[in-house]
Structure 1
Amino acid sequence: QMVRSKALARCGLVLLSLWLCIQSVPISVEKAKEKPKEEDLGPPQSAVSSPKDTGLHYDRYLREVIEYLEKDPHFKEKLKNADMDDIKQGKLSKELDFVHHNFRTKLDELKREEMNRLRMLIKAKHDIQDGNVDRQALLKQFEHLNHMNPDTFEVEDLDRLIKSATNDLENYDKDRHDEFKKYEMMKEHERRERLKKMNEEDRKKEEQHYEEMKKKHADHPKVNHPGSEDQLKEVWQETDGLDPEDFDTKTFFKMHDSNGDGFFDESELEALFTKELEKVYNPENEEDDMIEMEEERLRMREHVLNEVDTNKDRLVSLSEFMAATKKEEFHEKDEWEILHSPSSDDL
């Protein structure tokens, strides 16, 4: 479950990131008044333009709203020119009034579908709990919707959706860390419970085996600091098969910007750490926990974003990347400290 959740989380602030990365296209004022073609009213088929799953419970609704809005010429033009503060403060939401009627009708349908989905969720939870429902938790499911007006998609709906997605995704990493801590503590708790049920001889053997596995796990090659020159050069050499003497940061960025949009998103960043993680984790080894590996990947990505992402949009632009390569931290030689499992004393 945790590994699946981790995979869903890899796009970061998808709403803001998608809007800030939309490519410039010629737009005419007259075209905004034209009736959209019928085929344009369906969700885009391009895998490149479609945002990745955020892991939010309203992910499908979020993505479909974005996809329809991006197809309206007027809104797309405003989207392209909006900055981060405008988006967060809800200024962009007011542009919904100018979206073509056909698209607004589709957005109304999406909202009604989302309202029905949440009502079914509430009923199911109510039935399961025999009436003992945490109503505050259930109402929280509706925060991205204006449920006082359930049939039409209005400016307030877009404003709520932006603010909910921004807030939820900004807190997603913290929630993932908390979930991982609980997992680690439960794993240690279960290990200790198993030991209690063993006789003294078996318990000693199990403890000895456990210590051997910990030492084996800790015995690995040096893990380079994520985002450092040594770490990137290792990707350049081992993954790309290029001569380290020819290492060029700008070329490296363009090679690993897999969708060619001029940014490293979260999944593109995390892909850069695979070689480092493979030094420590192997799914065939008893001592290596793949859930810990995914948590380590998350820590590495967070570290790089904290160091490099200066405008905090959870994307690394070419200019941010190049600026980071000129900092002293880029030449960091110290080994990256890998996660360690909790000890009995932590319980």
Structure 2
Amino acid sequence: MTQMEMFEPNIYRQVIDFLEKDQHFREKLHNTDMEDIKQGKLAKELDFVSHHVRTKLDELKRQEVNRLRTLIKAKQDLEGGNDIAVDHQALLKQFEHLNHMNPHTFEVEDLDRLIKSATKDLENYDKERHEDFKKYEMMKEHDRQEHLKTLDEGERKKEEEHYEEMRKKHADHPKVNHPGSQNQLKEVWEEADGLDPDDFDPKTFFNLHDTNGDGFFDEQELEALFTKELEKIYDPTNEEDDMVEMEEERLRMREHVMNEVDSNKDRLVSMDEFLVATKKKEFLEPDSWETLEQNQAYTDEEMKEFEEHLAQQEQDLSQRADDLQKQRDELQRQQEQLNAQKIELQQVRSEAALLTKARTTLCVFRPSLGKSLHDQDRDNKLNMRGICKSVAVQCDQLCNRLLSTLTTKVSFQKSSSTA
């Protein structure tokens, strides 16, 4: 995987797909104006939702652990020769992506293949967790630097001093025992189990913390052993302590113990593996443990590429926002034009109706007017009839022109609507 590919892992695509269906994100998108989108304020909502997605992945991990435990138990039954029947068809139904397996025979070798598949899924999960954390740390540093740019020199100096103070305060904690060492397990034995450290017994300890009694430490049971150590470093009430970093530290501790103790690499620690590990020199005299603050999660080169990636995303988002604004302006212009045409058409219709009414009234009035003038002077009668005829002709002409205009407007409106 190249460094740039690190920023486009499968989990990122899954997050994007999930966001498109997420009610919360859709509402935020609709309630955010163009300027806020350009300034990247919507990205904070993306980060918020990604934590929700991570909880879904945590559930996926628990399912994978249960899947692995099922396979290990089936393998033990076959190896034990206890004539315990294994319903291989039912077992295979749990793993649809493995339907290419031979459905007629189901031996230990087949289970080994399934176990490797399950452990590979869990390894990929851990890799995604590490990549998510690295991006989280880089984004946190990016946001800090962007905030500093908004401050004047005096405020920036105070902010930097506060940042250094918090770093030193976080690093000032009791010594952290090497995960999986005798000293670390003895503290759990004494403080969590309430037992005398002088009576520490590895076998009893294993049975106490194998909470489901299946004869193995799975990943969750192992991680629970590190809670006391993590409490030395992290307190959710302290400003300087980040709980996301605490979970990354827990993951590092579990991976380290797995690498040291899990000899057959099935991502489960059996009692035999655990007891063998307690007899090693590393168990009694371990090296010191370096915590996260002593190991930066990313390199300068990775941070540089991350910044470039963010800049490109911001540019793409800004371009998209500009395009949407142009489309919105064009639609608004077309709507205003259509509204103006509707008003003009309504005026034409009103004028046409008035003229039609006037023409009808005049046509009725003209004959009766002629008849009422029989006792007047002939010249006056003829003159009045001529005036009425002239007015009627002009009304006819004006009415015809308005009707012609009306027809043109209607045709134009239909063609505009069709376009």
State the TM-score, normalized to the length of structure 2. Answer: 0.50
Structure 2 residue aligned with 1:250, among 167, 183, 203? 203
Large movers: runs of 4+ above 4 Å: 10-14, 22-29, 162-166, 341-346
CA contact (8 A) 1:263 1:318 kept: yes
- Alignment of structure 1 residues 79-158 onto 2, 5 Å: 82-83=107-108, 85-89=109-113
Output one character per residue of 1:62-87: Cα deviation in whole Å (capped at 9) or x when no partner.
99837xxxxxxxx9xx97xx54x432
* 1:163 CA drift (Å): 7.4
Inter-partner Cα distance in structure 2 for 1:89 and 1:164: 6
CA deviation after TM superposition for structure 1 residue 332, in Å: 3.0
**Residues 1:232 and 2:185 aligned together:** yes
What corresponds to 2:55 in structure 1?
Answer: 4
Of 292, 296, 315, which residue of structure 1 is paired with 2:245?
292
**What are structure 1's unaligned runs of at least 5 residues?**
33-40, 42-61, 67-74, 91-161
Q: Does 1:21 align with 2:73?
A: yes
Inter-partner Cα distance in structure 1 for 2:77 and 2:111:
18
Distance across 1 between alignment mates of 2:63 and 2:172: 32
Asked if residue 261 in structure 1 is aligned to residue 261 in structure 2, the reply is no
Give the SS at the match of 2:233.
Answer: coil
Q: Deviations over 1:250-294 (max 9, x none)?
A: 000000000000000000000000000000001111111101100
Question: How far has the Cα of 1:10 moved from its partner?
Answer: 5.2
Contact 1:264 1:316 in 2 (8 A): yes
Please name the residue that 1:279 is paired with: 232
Query: Quick check: which has more Rg, 1 or 2?
Result: 2
Deviations 1:155-190 (A, max 9, x none): xxxxxxx87645332322122111111111111011
Q: Which runs of 5+ in 2 are unaligned?
A: 1-49, 96-102, 304-419
Q: CA deviation at 1:228?
A: 0.2
**What secondary structure does 2:94 align onto?**
helix
Question: SS state of the match for residue 180, structure 2?
Answer: coil
Match of 2:282 in 1: 329
More helix by share: 2
Identity %: 62
Q: TM-score scaled by structure 1?
A: 0.60
Task: Answer yes or no: is the 8 Å Cα contact 1:224–1:335 preserved in 2.
Answer: yes
CA drift at 1:89: 3.8
Give the aligned partner of residue 195 of structure 1: 148
Does the 8 A contact of 2:261 with 2:273 survive in 1?
A: yes
| Superimposed CA distance per residue, residues 131-155 of structure 1 (whole angstroms, 9 cap, x where no aligned partner) | xxxxxxxxxxxxxxxxxxxxxxxxx
Is 1:270 the counterpart of 2:223? The answer is: yes
The structural deviation recorded for 1:235 is 0.2
Aligned pair partner of 1:306 in 250, 259, 262: 259
- When residues 344 and 181 of structure 1 are mapped into structure 2, their CA distance, relative to the original with a 3 A threshold, is closer
Instruction: Count the aligned residue pairs.
Output: 235
CA shift in 2, pair 1:87/1:264, >3 Å: same
